Amino acid sequence: MDAGEPRARRPRLTWVAGCGVGLSVAYPALIYFGRGHVPVSVLALVLVGLVWLRRNLAFGVRANGWLAGAGLLMAALALFADHALPLKLYPVAVNGLLLAIFGLSLRYPPPIVERLARLAYPELSPRAVRYIRRVTIAWCLFFAGNAGTALWTSLWASDRVWFYYNGVVAYALAGLMFLGEWLVRRRVLPDYRW
Count CB neighbours of 176 within 10 A. Answer: 11
pLDDT at 193: 67
Amino acid in position 177: M
pLDDT at 61: 46
pLDDT in tens, the chain (194 residues): 455 555 555 555 577 667 777 888 899 999 999 988 999 999 999 999 888 877 655 444 455 678 888 999 999 999 999 999 999 999 999 999 899 999 999 999 999 889 988 888 888 889 999 999 999 999 999 999 999 999 999 999 999 999 999 999 999 999 999 999 999 988 988 876 66
Amino acid in position 27: Y
Domain range summary for the chain, segments of one domain joined by +: 15-188
pLDDT at 59: 40
Rounded CA gap, 83 and 47, in Å?
14
pLDDT at 12: 52
pLDDT at 148: 98
Range 2-10, long-range pairs (CB < 8 A, 24+ positions)? 5/191, 6/121, 6/123, 6/124, 6/191, 6/192, 7/121, 8/120, 8/121, 8/193, 8/194, 9/119, 9/120, 9/121, 9/122, 10/120
Omega prior to 110 cis, within 30 of 0 = yes
Count CB neighbours of 17 within 10 A. Answer: 20
106 near 97, Cβ under 8 Å?
no
What is this structure's pTM? 0.84
